[in-house]
Amino acid sequence: MRLEFLPGAAADAQSTGRASRDGQLNRSSSLTGAAVAMLLLSGCASAPMTRGGSLASYDNLTQSDGLLAKSLVRVNKDDVLAAKTIHIVPATFSQGASPTLSQEQRKLVANAIDRSLCVGLSERLQVVALDQPADLTAYARVTQAAPTDEVAAGASKVVGILPTALGAGVPVPVPRLPVGLGSLTVEAEVRDPASRQQAAMIWARGANSFTSSPMVSSAGDAYELASSFSDDFSKLVVTGSTPFGKPPDLPSFDKIGASFGGKPK
């Protein structure tokens, strides 16, 4: 029996095959992304979107969540992008943010926020002293900081070194124990010289078993998450748009230098 194909049938068959393979690859990529998200979230502490009453306004905040962080944001893009200079008011804790953290631990977390804000905001803006005029002023307040369980964090560090102790030939990543994870919630804004809010964010994120380092301190996770908050808020102000839903940017040379102790520009 002889099979005959109509003109163009072979090309159509090849095109259909490619489309099928492309569809399978897209579905596979989507499933992989969903699996990674589920894996991360399965070992992630929850963080409430606590309000501390420090923002000039809570109106018109829009939900904009990342893979690990939750947030509400608002930004006047044109006004923010027109700014050239900025003050950074030292970060504070609301009164009931974390009664279990000591005053010294709160200072460490607040300082981590301030340092990271200075580095992040200086990507586009000139950070000036509070006694000098500036186009914008940044404020941040910690409204919630769940403590890290020091016993669980210590156990995670012990588990993490076992592959090395047992003579594993290659590094073996060991997830952190998904218990006793801390979290952090921060609200922040930038205001113009007339005290009008030009950008605002309420940000919440919990530590997770896969990307958070186990620090044997009740403030360990809050301290580590402080820089994550500052990175996200800085991007909101520097770009005039939400930091979420975009591919990650490579850090500039100035930012890399500042992270190693260099002076932000």
pLDDT for 178? 58
98-102, 180-184, 208-212, 255-259, range with the lowest pLDDT: 255-259
Amino acid at 214: P
Query: Bigger pLDDT: 10 or 116?
Result: 116
Amino acid at 197: Q
- Closest residue by Cα to residue 93 from 133, 55, 145: 145
- Quickly list DSSP for 199-250: EEEEEEEE-BTTTS---SSTTHHHHHHHHHHHHHHHHHHHHSS-SSSSPPPP
> pLDDT band at residue 10, thresholds of 50, 70 and 90?
very low
37-51, 158-172, 186-200, 237-251, range with the lowest pLDDT: 158-172
What gap in Å lies between CA 46 and CA 43, rounded to an integer?
10
> What token pair was written down for 197?
């809010």
Domain chopping of the chain, boundaries: 8-42, 46-259
pLDDT for 243? 97
> pLDDT band at residue 253, thresholds of 50, 70 and 90?
low
pLDDT for 45? 72
| The pLDDT of residue 168 is above 60 | no
Using an 8 Å Cβ cutoff, are 110 and 92 in contact? Answer: yes
Q: Does residue 189 sit in helix, strand or coil?
A: strand
| Residue 154: CB atoms within 10 Å | 15
> pLDDT band at residue 259, thresholds of 50, 70 and 90?
low
What gap in Å lies between CA 61 and CA 57, rounded to an integer?
9
Average confidence (pLDDT) over 174-200: 86
- In the chain, the N- to C-terminal Cα span, in Å, equals 79
> pLDDT band at residue 33, thresholds of 50, 70 and 90?
very low
Q: Does residue 61 sit in helix, strand or coil?
A: coil
Amino acid at 255: K
Using an 8 Å Cβ cutoff, are 214 and 156 in contact? Answer: yes
Find out if CATH 2.10.25 is the number for domain 46-259.
no
* Structure letter (DSSP) for residue 44: B
> What token pair was written down for 204?
């919440």
